A and B are shown apart, each in its own frame.
Chain A
C-alpha cells in the first residue's frame, strides 16, 4: 500500500461516509477529531505520508501481508481466519461474569493480564456519564477495567485511547477492539511510521465478534428520545429470530425493534468481511444458545498462552465448543464476507 496523507484519507474514507469510527486516526494530530461519534476533519494537513492513512482499516487492507505479519502464514479465507483453538469459556469470578456481556471472558482476561503485569495498561471502551457517548479508555486499574465491561454496539473511536496510551509512554498495552479496530492495530504495528516501537509495545490484542455497529451519534440520539441514556446498564442483541435490541436499565427493561435501528448502522460495516476479528491474538464473541458463555478463539502463541494461564489459574472455565455451533459460526462469518464482497461489486 502506498501511504498517503489526510487529503487522500478524506477522499477515500471520510467524504464517502466509509469511516467505521475506529478512532485510529484520532488523537495523534490536530487535524482530525472525534466529536460526539463523528470523525471530523478540522483542516487540511500537508504531511504526504501520514499515520492516519496508514493505520486506517478502510484505506487499504492487504490481508496477505497482515496475515504474514501476525501469523507468519498466508491468509486463511475459509470463514474464521487462522484459528488455533476454538472453545467455549466464561469467567469463574461471579462479579466479572455478571458484568460481562456473555461470560465475562474479555474482562477476565484483561483483569488477569493487568494483575500479572503482563500488561501495564488496557485500552477499552467505556461510557462517560457526562457525555453519554461511548469512547476509548486507558484503564490502569481493575476497577477501570470492570467499568468498561459490556458491549456498546457502536463505533466509539476507541483507538484514540490507544494513541493516548502510546503517547503517555505505556510499554505493554493490551487492547480490546472490534474487527476494524484490530485491523488498524495490526497496521500500526506493521507500518509504525514514527518508529514508536509499536509492534513490541502493543502486547496483546483481543478482538470481538461483530456483524455491524451503529453510528454512535445516531444511536444515542435515538435512545435519548426514549429515555435518559445514563440509566442504561446493559445493551443486548439476542440472536435471530428475535430482531430486537434489549436495554437493561436502572428503571427496568426496554425492547426496541431492530427494524427501527437498522438505518443507524454505519455504512462502513456493509463493506467489512471480518466477523470474528481474524487478526487478533484472541477473538471472543457470544455463544448463541448458551447465555452466560462466550465463544473463544485463540490464534497466536501469545493468545493461546494467555488463555492457558488464565484457565490454569482458575480465572476462566473452558468447555468444548460443539461442532454444530462451529459450523453455524462459520456460516455466519461467511455470510458477512459474502455481504461485503457483494457490496464491493
Chain B
C-alpha cells in the first residue's frame, strides 16, 4: 500500500516532491504515465508504477524520453490525461517531438514534468530547461514547495484540457527530492475510455494555421494564470528591496529575510506561473520599489522575462535597479543555497549575518580542512565495471596505439575518475559514446592511427546506441563497442529496461536481447564475463586488432542487485605473510590502483586486509594481486 494511492482525503503526510507530483497526477485522474529514469525525476513514474495496477492506470518505463513523450501523447490525443516526466537531458531528447506536438495540440490533458539538476550533482551537464516553454509556446509552472507541487499538477491538467495543449511543470532537485507536508485530496471516481477521433488529422503544418493557434492557446493560459494563487506577495507595501523569485528560491528567500530580520524592508514576490508571466501582479509591485533582486535556479529566465515586461511598460514605471545573474549579484551557474541567498541579501541591505564568534569559526574551518577527507565517487565493492575497466586498461596498454575510449552515461560513467582508472576520455549524452566512436572510427581514412572503443551500459544500449551502431556498420567505421551489461539501470535506482523480463508494474515483459540485435545487424558479437580478467583482457586485445564495427558484451550482475539476492560469492582473505604491500614488486597495487572499497590498507602493519563488512566476495582482487597473497574460496 502506498501513501500516494491512499484514499484518505484531508490526511496530512510527508511526501517527496516527486511523490507529491505523482499524487497530484492521480488526483487529476491520469490514465497513462511514461518516463525514462533520470535523476531527479525518477520517483515520479517510479511511485506511479507501484500503484498502477491498484489504480488501473498504465505506467511504463520507456526506452528513452522521446518515446515516453510519444506514448503519453498517444493517450492525450485519445482523450485521456497523461503524464510524462524527465530530467533536463531527457527534455533535450524529447524536444523534437515536443516542438511538433505543441503545434498539433492534443485532445485530452498532457502534463510534462521536467526536473532540472542545478550544479549537475547527478548529471553530465547543468541546464535550465524553462526556455523550452518559451520556445514551444507552452504554459509553465514551477512549484516552490510540496503541497504546491501536488496542487500545480492538478491545475496543469485542468489548464491542459482547456487549451488542448501540453502544460509544463519545472521542478529542481531541492523540490523533487526533498520531502514536506502535503494534504491528500480526493481520488478520482472514474476515468475516460481512450478514443482517437479519426475524422481530424493532427499535423504541425501549415505554420500559418498552427503557429498563430499555439499563440492563441498560450494567451488562454495567460488569462487562466491571471488570478492564480500560485503567485503571491509577502512583505511591506513599498519595500526597499523587492525579491522576485520562483521555485526553490522562495523558501530560501523567506528564511533569509527572516534570519536577517528584514520583514519590514524586503518584499518577496513569488511567481508560480512562470510562463506566460502574470503581468498585472508583476507591474503592480514593480511600481513600488527602486531595487529588484531575482532569485531563481540556474539561468536568468524569470529575470529576463520580467525585464521584457519592464521594457514594454517602461513609460509607466520608475527607474529600477535590477539585480540578479546578469548583474553578477548571483553566480550565473550552480545551485542556490541558503548561505548564498543570506549573504547576498545581507550585502544588498547592509545587514549583518548572525554567526558564531571567530574562535568557533576557526575550529570549524580546521574541522573542514583536516578532519573530513573527501569521499570521491567509487564503484561499489564487487562492481563488474571495475573488472571491465581493469581489463580494458591493460588491453589498451598492450595494444600501444593510444586507443581512445568514448564514455557514456550510467554508473560506468565513473570511468572518467580514478575509480575507473580514468579510462573514459569523453562523456556527453546518452549514446554519445558510441556515436563519437563511430565517428572516430572513420578518421583512419584521414590518417588517424588510434583505435576507437565505446562503452555503454545495457540500458543505454536500448536508449540510444542502436542508431549509431547501424550508422557505424553502414559507414564501415572501425570501432569496438563494449556493452557493460550488468542487467540493471543501476545509477538511477534499478528500474527495468527492455532487457528485463518484468516491466514497470512487475508484470511479465518481453525481454529484448542485446546480442540478438547485434547479430541481426550482422555484427561480430562476443560475450565474456569481466570477472575472468585474463580472458577478458585477451579478448579485448584481440578485438582491438580487428577492423569494422564489432561488439563485446561484458556480462556480469551488478553487485548491489546480487547482494540483495544471494550471499557472498567467495570468502576472500589476505595472507599477511605473502603480502608485500608497499615494497618494490607490488607498491600496493590492490589498494592504491585497483581501489576496491572492500580492501583496506592497514598502515600500522603495512598489509592489506579485507573489510568483511564491505567485501562482496567477487574475488577479482585475488587475480590482481601480483604475489598471490589474496585467496578466494568458494563456500
Contact = CB atoms under 8 A, between A and B. Distances in A.
B588 A46 contact: yes
Contacts of A52: 584
B48 to A, nearest CB: 47
Contacts of A44: 593
B584 A40 contact: no
Given A29-B626, A30-B626, A35-B398, A43 B593 contact: yes
Interface in A32-69: 33, 35, 38, 40-47, 49-52
Nearest to A44: B593
Given A40-B400, A42-B397, A193 B588 contact: no
B589 interface: yes
Contacts of A29: 584-587, 626
Contacts of A38: 400
B125 to A, nearest CB: 31
Contacts of A35: 398
Contacts of A41: 397
B584 A30 contact: no
Range of interface residues on chain A? 20 to 34
B369 interface: no
Nearest to B421: A43
B397 A194 contact: no
A47 B400 contact: no
A28 B397 contact: no
A194 B583 contact: yes
A31 interface: yes
A30 B398 CA distance: 13
A41 B396 CA distance: 11
Contacts, number: 45
A55 to B, nearest CB: 11
B191 interface: no
Contacts of B588: 46
Interface residues of B, number: 17
Interface string A169-193: 0000000000000000000000001
B592 interface: yes
B584 A46 contact: no
A52 B583 CA distance: 13
Contacts of B589: 30-31, 43
Q: Which of A28, A30, A50, A52 has the most CB of B within 10 A?
A: A30
B393 interface: yes
A153 B106 CA distance: 79
A53 B407 CA distance: 35
Nearest to A45: B587
B16 to A, nearest CB: 43
A35 B624 CA distance: 18
Interface in B371-399: 393-394, 397-398
Interface string A17-36: 00000000000111101010
A31 B587 contact: yes
Nearest to B586: A29
A25 B588 CA distance: 18
A104 to B, nearest CB: 37
Contacts of A194: 583-585
Q: Which of B585, B593, B626 has the most CB of A within 10 A?
A: B585
B584 A51 contact: yes
A41 B626 CA distance: 15
B331 to A, nearest CB: 36
A13 B593 CA distance: 23
Contacts of A30: 586, 589, 624, 626
Interface string B497-522: 00000000000000000000000000
Contact of A40 (B398, B585, B592): B398
A162 to B, nearest CB: 15
A193 B394 contact: no
Nearest to B590: A30
Contacts of B397: 40-42
Contacts of B582: 46-47
A30 B587 CA distance: 9
Given A43-B593, A46-B592, A28 B584 contact: yes
B584 A193 contact: yes
B415 to A, nearest CB: 15
Contacts of A31: 587, 589
A133 to B, nearest CB: 13
A33 B393 CA distance: 13
B587 A47 contact: yes
Nearest to B580: A194
A132 to B, nearest CB: 16
A253 B583 CA distance: 50
Contacts of A51: 584-585
A50 B584 contact: yes
A29 to B, nearest CB: 5
Interface string B297-331: 00000000000000000000000000000000000
B587 to A, nearest CB: 5
Nearest to B593: A43
A42 B400 CA distance: 10
A51 B582 CA distance: 13
Contacts of B400: 38, 40
Contacts of A193: 584
B604 to A, nearest CB: 19
A47 B584 contact: yes
B418 to A, nearest CB: 11
Interface of A: 28-31, 33, 35, 38, 40-47, 49-52, 193-194
Given A41-B397, A44-B593, A47-B587, 10 more contacts: A29-B626, A30-B626, A31-B587, A40-B397, A42-B397, A47-B583, A47-B584, A49-B584, A51-B584, A194-B585
11 contacts: A29-B585, A42-B393, A43-B393, A43-B593, A46-B582, A46-B592, A47-B584, A47-B587, A49-B584, A51-B584, A52-B584
Interface of B: 393-394, 397-398, 400, 582-589, 592-593, 624, 626
What are the 8 closest A-B residue pairs judged by CB atoms, nearest first? A30-B626, A45-B587, A47-B587, A29-B585, A47-B584, A50-B584, A35-B398, A46-B587
